Amino acid sequence: AKQIAQQDAQRAAFIVDRAKMEKKSTIVRADGEAKSAELIGEAIKSQPGFLELRRIETAREIAHLLQGSGNRLVLDASSLLLNVTEPSSMDYFEALKTSSDTRNPEFYAHSPVPVPKDTKDVGSIINYIKATCDDLYFTSDSDEPVEVYQLSAAGLSMLEADIDKLSLPSAKDFAVFVAGDVTTAEEGFIMEKLPASQFFARLCGQQVSERQKRLAKSLECAFAKLTSTPGTASAYYRIGFLPNIEVYVVMLIDGQIVGIKTLSVET
């Protein structure tokens, strides 16, 4: 019995010693991870390219694993973290270096195309809008894509009087262009002209991912920036019959009307 008691005591002492060693090991590992996180944070802060290097290394590891697999898989660039059309961490950090103003579109640094510096470069503005709203959705009773919009030559001719006065058309004039005289005269037809800021307040609050939130905010700031000079303007139009209201958020720039359009489903 005495021998058994000694063995039990030795076993208990061994378990205690092992627990102490595991505790020390856990502390050492946690300290190491904390130090690693601190070093990575410093590396990201001083060298934004560190994230790009990590992304390339991860893509190489994924490719290496797939190479040795017997299964055939087809992955796009996004799956391999090598989609060159997506904004990179370098884009983000470079933009933050050049802009600390939250009213500046570059502050949000998530559009694959930079905001045009020339407010009269309509082609570049359209490219920026197209790239920025590519992954945005407007939520009402359904989720509808946000698309680039440019008034046609016929529309410019029809609304020439307003454009010549360096102003955007009234709700009725714009509705007549979009839907025609007969339709706009029907009972229940909705035609409203509102500040563009009302639309963006709603759009920015609807986005889910951090990327979408930054895209929406960058777009809002771009509209404000591009229409801050004399001879420019912006507006938010709601046109149509319930439940499907067509939404246009447009800018008057250099005699052209450009912006975005989507659909608000209101049952």
- Contact by Cβ (8 Å): 109, 215: no
Helix 2-46, helix 49-67: angle, nearest 10: 120
Can you give the pTM of this predicted structure?
Answer: 0.63
Query: What is the C-alpha to C-alpha distance for residues 185 and 86, in angstroms, rounded to an integer?
Result: 46
Phi-psi region of 221 (alpha: psi -120 to 50; beta: other; left: phi over 0): alpha
Interval 117-131: pLDDT, tens: 777 788 888 988 988
Most confident of 5-9, 10-14, 97-101, 217-221: 217-221
- Contact by Cβ (8 Å): 108, 70: no
Query: What is the C-alpha to C-alpha distance for residues 22 and 240, in angstroms, rounded to an integer?
Result: 69
- 226, HSE (Cβ side, Cα atoms, 13 Å): 33
What pLDDT score does 105 carry?
A: 62
Per-chain mean pLDDT for the chain: 79
- Contact by Cβ (8 Å): 183, 189: yes
Structure tokens at 150: 């440019």
Q: How far is CA 1 from the centre of its chain?
A: 74
Interval 20-48: pLDDT, tens: 788 777 777 777 776 766 676 666 555 65
Q: Answer whether residue 85 shows pLDDT above 50.
A: no
What pLDDT score does 133 carry?
A: 86
Stretch among 72-76, 88-92, 255-259 having the lowest mean pLDDT: 88-92
Q: Count of CB atoms within 10 A of residue 65's CB?
A: 9
Mean pLDDT confidence for 173-178: 92
More confident call, 64 vs 194: 194
Structure tokens at 108: 């949000």
More confident call, 145 vs 82: 145
Instruction: Identify the H or E element spanning 60.
Output: helix 49-67
Interval 188-241: pLDDT, tens: 999 999 999 999 999 989 888 877 888 888 899 889 988 988 889 999 999 999
Q: How confident is the model at residue 267 (pLDDT cuts 50, 70, 90)?
A: confident
**Look-up: residue for tokens 């709601």?**
238
Q: How confident is the model at residue 91 (pLDDT cuts 50, 70, 90)?
A: low
Q: At a CB cut-off of 8 Å and minimum separation 6, what does 163 contact?
A: 156, 252, 255, 257
What pLDDT score does 175 carry?
A: 93
